[in-house]
Amino acid sequence: MPFKRVYQISCSAILVLVAGLYACKKNSGGQGLPPAQSVGLKSVAPFPMGAAVGTSGLQNNAYYLGTMLTEYNSMTSDYEMKFNIVEPEQGVFNYAPGDYLVSFAAQHHIRMHGHNLIWHDPAALPAWVLSFQGDSLAWENLFMTHIEGEATHYKGEVASWDVVNEAIRDDNGQLRNQDSTPGDGTGSIWRQHLGPDYIARAFQYAHAADPNALLFYNDYGQEWGGLKLDSIVALVTGLKKRGIPISGVGMQMHISILTDTAGISAGLKALAATGLLVHVSELDISVNPNNNPNIAYATYLPQQAAMYQFVAESYRANVPPAQRYGITTWEFSDADSWIPAAFGRKDWPLPFDSLYHKKPAYFGLQKGVKD
């Protein structure tokens, strides 16, 4: 094992020790917290419990590290295994962050879910792709080279991949293609240059590179029902019927305390009916969906806890045990949520507060996952 990886693991081991001490102290009932809960979510759930994580938290924050190790047995790369990080220049691959994540996962016997191989969002694409000029063959080559390169590199270390992310439009259920209006984000550079069947080929390239990896289509909005849900179900069912190597579907579940619970259950039920694995892949529950600038932190914590409990109970009620790939939150502390910055508002969508203390949401989720 190269020195760098040994060094990384050694540093991580020291931080684990520190994290353990912090975790004991943190949960020793201080700040009026319930008595130390040495049993994490992973120990009470009958399916994998995961979180999206980044290398910075794992390497530099003992609370972040301690919470990850105590609570979760699955981890998803938040942003460091995406196209813009992994292939910043054509044919030049940067695997360092992802290598740290897969080494950490292996060291701690945590399942590694890779995210993601193909996504249209410019925030996750390098400049050279966004400005690429080439014929369809050149586009197919860069597309295939990226997928096969990354999936081959992580062969045997990544249990599963979000192969294609968010290919279906919100408004009409069509495949993202051209932007409806320039730069509105409804388009997909991949569909534009590779044709509608790029999704099937992405799965084929990933499977060729790592035949043992489970391969997912990942999207959001299934809980809305209607065209979005129907199109996602039609897409994954069609791929499965064609014998394309798809294993599962991710239901991101970026929801709020106002989300229709019937829609959540109907979405889970519809995905389970495909017979594919179902992963609640990016769960967070906003307490301020209407951007109230004067909202106080504690206002909606009970409603948030109830919604976390509902999601977990609905997952158990609507997804058969054999199809439960697990529940993953998109990070786990409010301090690391993408939502406040993305929506420019105060919000606290996750089970742990910004000091990594358990919120009522944590106990709602814990109650909901228990058989």
- Residues that are catalytic: 166, 282
Q: 32 — alpha (psi -120 to 50), left (phi > 0) or beta?
A: left
Of residues 124 and 327, the one with the C-beta less far from ligand G3I: 124
CB of 176 to ligand G3I, least distance (A): 14
Rounded distance between C-alpha atoms, residue 241 and residue 277, angstroms: 15
CB of 279 to ligand G3I, least distance (A): 13
Of residues 41 and 118, the one with the C-beta less far from ligand G3I: 118
Check whether the bond before 294 is cis (ω within 30° of 0): no
Rounded distance between C-alpha atoms, residue 154 and residue 166, angstroms: 22
Of residues 23 and 356, the one with the C-beta less far from ligand G3I: 356
CB of 313 to ligand G3I, least distance (A): 24
Q: Classify residue 298 by burial, with Cβ atoms within 10 Å: 0-12, 13-18, 19+.
A: exposed
Looking at the DSSP bridge assignments, the partners of residue 25 are none
- Footprint of ligand G3I (CB under 6 A): 78-79, 82, 123-124, 165, 252, 282, 338
Of residues 282 and 347, the one with the C-beta less far from ligand G3I: 282
Of residues 103 and 165, the one with the C-beta less far from ligand G3I: 165
| Single-letter code of the amino acid located at 339 | I
Rounded distance between C-alpha atoms, residue 278 and residue 273, angstroms: 10
Q: How far apart are the first and last CA of the chain?
A: 41
Rounded distance between C-alpha atoms, residue 158 and residue 86, angstroms: 15
CB of 341 to ligand G3I, least distance (A): 8
CB of 183 to ligand G3I, least distance (A): 16
Residue number closest to ligand G3I, CB atom: 338
